[in-house]
Structure 1
Amino acid sequence: MLLSNFKKTIHFLHLWLGLFSGLVVFILGLTGAIYAFTDEIKEWVYKDRLYVEVPAGALRLPLSQLLPIAEQAMGKDHKISRGQLSQAKDRTYMFRALKVDKKSFGYWNYYEYYYKVYLNPYTGQVVYKENAKREFFTVVLALHMNLLLGDNVGHFIIRWSVVCFVFLLLSGLVLWWPKKWKRKQLKQRFKVKWNAKFKRLNYDLHNVFGFYSCLILLVIALTGLMWSFELTTEKKSKVLSDTTQVTDVMPADRILDQALKASPETAYFLYNFPSAKSGTVNVSAYQSDMNLYDRVQYRFDRYSGALLQKGTEFNKQTIGAQLIAMNYDLHTGSALGLTGKVLAFFAGLIAMGLPVTGFLIWWKRGKKPLS
Structure 2
Amino acid sequence: MTTIPAEPSPPRAGVGTPDRKRSGALLWLLARRVHFTAGLLVAPFLAVLALTGLAYAFSPQINDVLYGDKLYVEAQTGSPRPLSEQVEAALAVHPDAYVTSVVPADEPDRTTEVVLGGIEGLNETGSDFSSESLTVYVDPYTGGVNGELVTVDNRPPAQVWLREFHGNLHLGDVGRLYSEFVASWLPFIVLGGLVLWLGRRARGRSLRTVLVPSFTARGRGRDRSWHGVLGLWLAVGLLGISITGLTWSNYAGGRVDAAITALNGKTPWLSMPEVTPADGAEPIGFDRAVEVARSEGLQGELTLVPPHTAEEPFVVKESSDGLPIRKTSVVIDPYTEQVTARLGWEDYPLMAKLTSIGIAAHGGTLFGLANQLALALLAVGSLVLLGLGYRMWWQRRPSRSGRTLPAPVWRTLSVPMLVLVILAAGALGWAMPVFGVTLVAFVVLDGTVGALRRRRARVGAA
Coarse TM-score class (shorter-chain normalised): 0.7 to 0.9
Match of 1:168 in 2: 189
- Cα 1:34–1:6 change in 2 (3 A) is same
**What code does the residue aligned with 2:362 have?**
H
Aligned with residue 120 of structure 1, among 139, 143, 148: 139
Task: Using structure 2 for the length normalisation, give the TM-score.
Answer: 0.64
Tell me what 2:428 maps to.
none
Moved more, 93-102 or 207-216: 93-102
Give the 3-state SS of the residue equivalent to 1:121 in structure 2: coil
The two structures, once aligned, show a CA RMSD in angstroms of 3.8
Q: Select between 255-264 and 327-336 the one with higher mean Cα deviation.
A: 327-336
Distance 2:314 2:204 in 1: 60
Following superposition, the deviation at residue 347 of structure 1 comes to: 0.5
Question: Would the alpha carbon gap of residues 333 and 26 (structure 1) be closer, same or farther in structure 2, given more than 3 Å must change?
Answer: same
Distance 2:387 2:143 in 1: 51
Q: CA deviation at 1:290?
A: 3.7
Aligned AA (2:340): L
Amino acid at match of 1:86: A
Pairing 1:27–2:48 present:
yes
Tell whether 2:212 aligns with 1:190. yes
SS for the counterpart of 1:345 is helix
Shift of 1:355: 4.0
Match of residue 87 from structure 2: 67
User: Normalising by the residue count of structure 1, what TM-score does the alignment of the two structures yield?
Assistant: 0.77
Distance 2:34 2:354 in 1: 31
Report the CA distance shift for 1:256/1:102 in structure 2 as closer, same or farther (over 3 A).
same
Structure-2 residue corresponding to 1:361: 392
Matching residue of 1:269: 302
The one of 292, 296, 313 aligned to 2:328:
296
2:342 corresponds to 1:310: yes
Which residue among 107, 113, 117 is the counterpart of 1:94? 113
Inter-CA distance 348–79: structure 2 relative to 1 (3 Å threshold): farther
Q: 2:203 maps to what in 1? A: 180
- CA distance change for structure 1 residues 349 and 300 in 2, over 3 Å: closer, same or farther? farther
Distance 1:243 1:289, change over 3 A: same
Change over 3 Å in CA distance of 1:194–1:111 after alignment to 2: farther
Aligned residue for 2:100?
81
Change (3 A) 1:311 1:362: same
Q: 1:201 to 1:71 in 2, by over 3 A?
A: farther
Q: Do 1:88 and 1:267's aligned partners in 2 also have CA atoms closer than 8 Å?
A: no
Establish whether residue 348 from structure 1 lines up as the match of residue 367 from structure 2: no
Judged with a 3 Å threshold, the aligned counterparts in structure 2 of structure 1 residues 252 and 233 are, in CA distance, closer, same or farther, namely: farther
**Compared with structure 1, are the counterparts of its residues 327 and 13 closer, same or farther at alpha carbon in structure 2 (3 Å cutoff)?**
same
* Matched position secondary structure for 2:328: strand
- The one-letter amino acid paired with 1:147 is L
Partner Cα distance (2:42, 2:278) in 1: 55
- 2:170 equivalent to 1:139: no
Partner of residue 259 from structure 1, selected from 293, 304, 308: 293
Instruction: Check conservation: 1:251, 1:303, Cα contact below 8 A.
Output: no
State the shift of 1:210 in Å: 1.5
Aligned to 1:107: none
Whichever residue aligns with residue 253 of structure 1, its letter is: D
Q: Aligned residue for 1:339?
A: 370
- Distance in 2 separating the partners of 1:84 and 1:192: 53
| Percent identity of equivalent pairs | 21
Task: Read off the aligned partner of 1:138 and give its amino acid letter.
Answer: V
What is the deviation of 1:269?
Answer: 0.7
What is the aligned length? 355
SS at match of 1:295: coil
Partner of 1:234: 267
